[in-house]
């Protein structure tokens, strides 16, 4: 089986990166994690990737000043040099320009700790608690120029408990993230995702298993 070459972009500990690396160890997984890139030299995820035997690079955004496109051109060149086919964002704390997103259209995915379109942006768990919602969760989506607005690939819902804090809720959501991100990347690598009129359609969706993970109440 020919496996698709995937790069993961990180800025921190690389928790979802580790979940993708673990999934890709399976012989029947259709993608290999071929490269990990961080925009921060101190990112702890770099050591985790190295320990797994995966090539790593640091492209420090601070060396480019406010020139976002020059940073992204360096990023794009590194991806092309390593023959990368798909890119996964995993805690990559940079807003990408329309230029970069356009270069990787429908090949660039992200995971967000909320049930989009609710709670776009940061501090999602505290905001969910403040809003009094009973269900929270995570979403894997294609990246588009507008933040957290791309076509949804998969979602996982978790219950919000009466005694939850932002930290306890975040831990429950993170466990769900680790389940759905490898599922979504599998579908992408298998060529089973189609974006039509801004919506993601899954080829043979029933065989994909649960792409909406429901809470255990």
* 112 labelled catalytic: yes
Instruction: Indicate yes or no: pTM above 0.75.
Output: yes
- Mind listing the pLDDT tens digit of every residue in the chain (217 residues)? 689 999 999 999 999 999 999 999 999 999 999 999 999 999 999 999 999 999 999 999 999 988 999 999 999 999 999 999 999 999 999 999 999 999 999 999 999 999 999 999 999 999 999 999 999 999 999 999 999 999 999 999 999 999 999 999 999 999 999 999 999 999 999 999 999 999 999 998 765 555 566 655 4
Q: Do domains 1-104 and 111-217 have the same CATH topology?
A: yes
Catalytic residue among 61, 112, 136, 141: 112
The CATH homologous superfamily of the domain defined by 111-217 = Formyl transferase, N-terminal domain (3.40.50.170)
Domain boundaries, the chain: 1-104, 111-217
What is the radius of gyration, based on Cα positions, of the chain?
17
According to DSSP, the β-strands at 135-142 and 108-112 are antiparallel
**CATH of the domain spanning 1-104:** 3.40.50.170
- 184, 153 in Cβ contact below 8 A? yes
**Cα separation, 167 vs 117, whole angstroms:** 22
Q: What is the dihedral of CA 20, 23, 28, 34, to 10 degrees?
A: 40
Place of tokens 């990737």: 49
In the structure encoding, which two tokens stand for residue 170, read together? 């975040």
């Amino acid at each position: 089986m020919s496996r698709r070459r995937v790069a993961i972009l990180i800025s921190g500990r690389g928790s979802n990166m580790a979940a993708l690396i673990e999934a890709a160890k399976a012989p029947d997984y259709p993608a290999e994690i071929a490269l990990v890139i961080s925009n921060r030299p101190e990112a702890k995820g770099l050591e985790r990737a190295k320990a797994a035997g995966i090539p790593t690079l640091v492209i420090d955004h601070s060396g480019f000043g406010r020139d976002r496109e020059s940073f992204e051109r360096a990023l794009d060149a590194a991806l092309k040099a390593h023959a990368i086919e798909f890119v996964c964002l995993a805690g990559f704390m940079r807003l990408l320009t329309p230029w970069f997103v356009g270069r990787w259209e429908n090949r660039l995915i992200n995971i967000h700790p909320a049930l989009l379109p609710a709670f776009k942006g940061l501090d999602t768990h505290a905001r969910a608690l403040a809003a009094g919602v009973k269900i929270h969760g995570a979403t894997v989506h294609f990246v588009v120029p507008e933040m957290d607005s791309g076509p949804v690939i998969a979602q996982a819902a978790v219950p919000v408990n009466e005694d939850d804090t932002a930290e306890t809720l975040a831990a429950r959501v993170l466990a769900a993230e680790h389940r759905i991100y490898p599922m979504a990347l599998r579908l992408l690598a298998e060529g089973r995702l189609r974006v039509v009129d801004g919506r993601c359609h899954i080829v043979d969706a029933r065989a994909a298993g649960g792409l909406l993970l429901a809470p255990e109440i």
